[in-house]
Amino acid sequence: MLSTIATAAWSSPTIDYHALAPEMILGAGIVLLLLLDLFLSDARKWLLTPVASFTLLAAFIPVLTLALNNAGTREMFDGRYVIDDFSLVMKGMFLLSGYVVVLLAADYIREGDYYQGEFWFLMLSSLMGMVMMASSRDLISIFVALEFLSIPAYMLAAWRKRDSRSNEAGIKYYLLGVFASAIMLYGMSLLYGITNSTKLTEIGASLGSNLTSIRALAVFFVVIGFAFKISAVPFHTWAPDTYQGAPTPVTAFLSVASKAAGFVALVTVVYVGFPGSHAVWQPVFWILSAATMTLGNVMALKQTSIIRMLAYSSIAQGGFILMPLAVAGETGVAESALRAVVTYLIVYAATNLGVFAVVTVVARKTRSGEISSYGGLFSYAPGIATLMTIFMASLAGIPPFGGWFGKFAAFQSLVSAGTTWAYVLAIIGGVNSVVAFGYYGSILREMWMRPVPDGDTSPVPVKSSLAVALGITGIATLLLGVLPGIVIHFGDLAGLAGAISR
């Protein structure tokens, strides 16, 4: 039986090959990319793109079979690497987001002649880190996964070597990322000192709900470390510059997959490692959430560049995703809070990738990153404008597009907690979702109600890969909004939530 693996002797760690298949396929793909890059002539480097995308789709297959297999939670390495419903849902999300990013990046990378092999190699490595993150239940493996996903991302952000903005993006991202890692490592070392273990479940059991100041400090530092990764205010300062300077597909990757990975790590650490310490992390999340959505929204309102606007929008959305975590420690809320976070992440991934697909398509024509370049888009490219309308409405949380259900799930777990603080946060969230329409609506206004800025109404060319990306994200956004049951249907996620409600 697989469950006996958990108690297997150290001398012979049994490997569950089925459970590890996604990681192994990804690893094989990464090696294959490196080798092919060595031997292919420049003219045939385009072959690397399909290799990258097929690797991601191939890695998705075992995720599906594992999910359908229904054999319950699989544990490896003494319970430090776990494949449960939560990790499978997130792995699936990372791989599919990665696939859409490949579609977005394909032409960009080929036309720019930007070292295709290296680009795909780094992107897949980063995805590998994310996939591992979803299963890690140990401080060491979490840290390794975090660095695995971050370091390639630093390089990707600085991809346009000769562009000073891109260099700035990479450096800023790198310096602040390393800074955050150091803080987190400090917290982790404290945790190890206190509990004498790096395994999250043991840390959780050892910490209990007995909070001394040193324990509180350890928990606080770890949480803060991840707050950088998810660009929560006040640790968000890197995000707008990095998002603006990085190549657009990389920005899409950072704002969706990388951010989701941060949330996955945060949720794992909090749910498995600190279930008893909610007196520390609940207030932290409350403040982070309120500050993040409010400041993100206010800053987004005054942007004129679409990417910067999306950067602040992404920060604000992070605030909404944090909302349920601010009450996750209350009795009976853990599961609905986790579900809200996961649902929101999935909906947000579909929508935001769609937005970036539209941005990529439009930028190819207008050669501008200004919001005003969307003027009159509906009059000459109604299809793209309608898709953008759907994505913006989804981000703003207007039914029947995906986003509403993410917000709904977040509000639901807040209200189910029923505390005064929860209601106050719900009201802040409500007001913020109205404010957010200020800038999402400004895009709609440009597209539908303003004239075309330069009178150029030639049709917008849509490359086939971008059309596929638009199709996938558009359908997903609509479907998630009309039949939101399907996201939550992946599993009740009890595995992880069980820890906190113990």
Partner 1 sequence: MAVISNHNWALTVGTFLPLVGVLIMLFIPKAEEALIKSVAIATAIATLAVGIYTMVQFDFGKAGDMQFVAEHDWISVIKSSYYIGIDGISLPLYLLSMVITVLVMIYSWDHVPSPGNPKAFFILMLILQTGMAGTFIARDLILFFVFFELVLLPMYFMIGVWGGENRQYASLKFFLYTMFGSALMLVAFLALFFKTGAESFSIPFLIEKGMDISRTTQIWIFAGMFVGFAVKVPMFPFHTWLPDAHTQAPTQGSVILAAVLLKLGTYGFVRIAIPVLPEAAEAWAPYIGGLAVIGIIYGSFGCLAQTDMKRLIAFSSVAHMGFVMLGISTLTSFGMNAAMFGMVAHGLITGMLFFVAGSVKERYHTLEIKRISGMLLQMPKLGWILGFCAMASLGLPGLAGFWGEFPAILSAYQPAPGLSVNVFRAYMVIAAIGTVFAAGYLLWLFQRIAFGEPTAEFAAGHGHDEDIHDVNKFEWIAWTPLLIAIVVFGVYPQLMFKVLDPAVSVTLKAFGG
Looking at the Cβ atoms of 283 and 430, the one nearer to partner 1 is: 430
Regarding 431 and contact with partner 1 (CB under 8 A), the answer is yes
Task: Provide φ and ψ at 302, rounded to 5°.
Answer: -105, 15
| Cβ distance to partner 1 smaller for residue 114 or 448 | 448
Q: Determine which residue in the list 28, 175, 427, 475 makes contact with partner 1, applying CB under 8 A.
A: 427
Of residues 50 through 109, those in contact with partner 1 by CB under 8 A are: none
Distance CA 332, CA 320 (A): 20
- Decide: 129 and 150 in contact? Cβ < 8 Å: yes
Q: What sign for the dihedral angle of Cα 208, 284, 253, 96?
A: positive
- What residues have CB less than 8 Å from 69, skipping those under 6 apart? 18
Give the nearer residue to partner 1 in terms of CB position, either 234 or 451: 451
The tokens 């695995």 sit on which residue? 148
What are the respective helix, strand and coil percentages of the chain, to the nearest 5? 80, 0, 20
Q: Does 317 bind partner 1 (CB under 8 A)?
A: no
Cβ-based neighbours of 87, under 8 Å, separated by 6 or more: 134, 135
Residues in CB range of 119: below 8 A, 6 or more apart: 105, 109, 156, 159
Name the minimum Å distance from CB 416 to partner 1.
5
The Cα 230–Cα 260 span in angstroms is: 8
Main-chain dihedrals φ then ψ at residue 83, nearest 5 degrees: -110, 100
Is residue 380 within the footprint of partner 1 (CB under 8 A)?
no
Here's the x/- map for partner 1, 471-490, by CB under 8 A: it reads as ------------xxx--xx-
- Which of 69, 449, 475, 502: binder of partner 1 (CB under 8 A)? 449
Closer Cβ to partner 1, 143 or 378, answer by number: 378
Question: Given candidates 27, 399, 471, 491, which one binds partner 1 under the rule CB under 8 A?
Answer: 399
Query: Mask 212-251, x = binds partner 1 (CB under 8 A)?
Result: ----------------------------------------
- The smaller minimum CB distance to partner 1, of residues 154 and 411, is found at 411
434 sits near partner 1 (criterion: CB under 8 A): yes
Alpha-carbon dihedral sign for residues 199, 201, 206, 211: positive
Task: Closer to partner 1 by CB, 72 or 430: give it.
Answer: 430
Asked whether position 426 contacts partner 1 by CB under 8 A, the answer is yes
CA 326, distance to chain mean position in Å, is 19
Q: Which stretch binds partner 1 (CB under 8 A): 155-163, 256-264, 433-441, 472-480?
A: 433-441
Which helix (H) or strand (E) covers residue 241, if one does?
A: helix 238-245
Task: State both tokens at 95.
Answer: 């791989």
Q: Hey, which residues does 82 pair with through a beta bridge? A: 75
Site string for partner 1, 400-419 (x = CB under 8 A): x---xx--xx-xx--xx-x-
Indicate which single residue of 49, 125, 389, 473 sits in contact with partner 1 (rule: CB under 8 A): 389
CB of 441 to partner 1, least distance (A): 6
Beta carbon of residue 401, minimum distance to partner 1 (angstroms, whole number): 9
Length of the chain in residues, anyone?
Answer: 502
Structure tokens at 491: 């599993």
Supply the minimum distance, in Å, between the C-beta of residue 332 and partner 1.
10
Q: Please, what is the Cα angle at 320 between 315 and 322, to 5 degrees?
A: 90
Nearest Cα residue to 47 out of 112, 125, 126, 109: 109
Stretch that binds partner 1, among 143-151, 241-249, 254-262, 395-403 (CB under 8 A): 395-403
Residue 214 vs 483, nearer CB to partner 1: 483
CB contact burial 91-116 (16+ within 10 A = b; e otherwise):
bbbbbbbbbbbbbbbbbbbbeeeeeb
- CA distances from residue 49 to 7, 353, 462 in whole angstroms, order as listed: 42, 18, 18
Binding range to partner 1, per CB under 8 A, among 33-41, 185-193, 427-435, 467-475: 427-435
- Give the residue from 357, 203, 322, 170 showing the smallest Cα distance to 272: 203
Binding characters for partner 1, 338-367, by CB under 8 A (x = yes): -x----------------------------
Q: Which of 398, 467, 468, 494 is in the footprint of partner 1 by CB under 8 A?
A: 398
Which residues contact partner 1 (rule: CB under 8 A)? 339, 378-379, 382, 389, 393, 398-400, 404-405, 408-409, 411-412, 415-416, 418, 423, 426-427, 430-431, 433-434, 437-438, 441, 444-445, 448-449, 483-485, 488-489
